[in-house]
Amino acid sequence: MSRENSDKSGKQHIRLRFYEELNNFLPPHQRKMEFVRTLPEPTTTKDLIEGCRVPHTEVDLILVNGESVTFDWMVADGDRVSVYPVFESLDISPATRLQERPLRNPRFLADVNLGKLARFLRMAGFDTAYRNDAHDDELIEQMLREDRALLTRDRRLLMRRVVQKGYLVRADRAADQLDEVLRRFDLKSIVRPFTRCMHCNARLEQVDKAKIENRLKPLTKRYYQDFSKCTGCGRIYWKGSHRERLDPKISEILSVSGPLPDR
């Protein structure tokens, strides 16, 4: 690939095109077409793409003049850059995929606006940290320390270089958000309903009815035999309670068969 700089002013003229839903991040006049970015100096693909307000965590494949490159590739004058999102079902190997999918270690960190999504992810069995008072820097620090994928609605947060795994949540309803996250990280086949406490994120373990009988309401005691207890906060869960409270979409994702929460 030519690395020559043909513009005597030193300016870099880069031809760019974004594909599929990445266009939603762009202003209308740049959508679904090639446009030119003029930069004062050579830059990385990450900075070029995020200069167009597209977080790097949303990008799975970058082609520069037809060859797949990573986020630290330096683009130069005259380059033609094509940027693709995470495809649900397109085999793009042997090109370099930039996002891990499915996640080998599906652990999440939900930002302060995604509390309900965090509870649904836990309900589906995924380790999901959440605090409603965390500042951006604290979130980033926890994400790194605990090796979690960051879920947020703040695209600036996802543009930080240290964020390797993350996702910009689009939907407004938490049930739709859960569906989105499971699709994005290809996790639907490993959903494990009701193995984790939706309140505190600790694991649930089976518990003998006799040991917790004194905590059950009379009807629960009469109709249910199988119970789980949270190893963190001690809440009791059982199969079949409060099923009607679940959104139909959540019920479908979880194919409700495990114990439901007691409250």
Residues in touch with Zn ion (CB under 5 A): 197, 199-200, 202, 230, 232-233
* Polymer length in residues for the chain: 263
Which one-letter DSSP state was computed for residue 203?
A: B
Contact 169, 117 (CB under 8 A): yes
Beta bridge partners of 161: none
**Closest-CA residue to 109 (of 54, 163, 156):** 163
Shortest distance, position 231 Cβ to Zn ion, whole Å: 8
Shortest distance, position 196 Cβ to Zn ion, whole Å: 8
Whether the link from the prior residue into 94 is cis, omega within 30° of 0, is: yes
Shortest distance, position 102 Cβ to Zn ion, whole Å: 26
Q: Looking at beta carbons only, is 51 or 232 nearer to Zn ion?
A: 232
Shortest distance, position 200 Cβ to Zn ion, whole Å: 3
**Closest-CA residue to 14 (of 74, 98, 68, 57):** 74
79-to-63, 127, 232, 261 alpha-carbon distances in Å: 10, 42, 54, 55
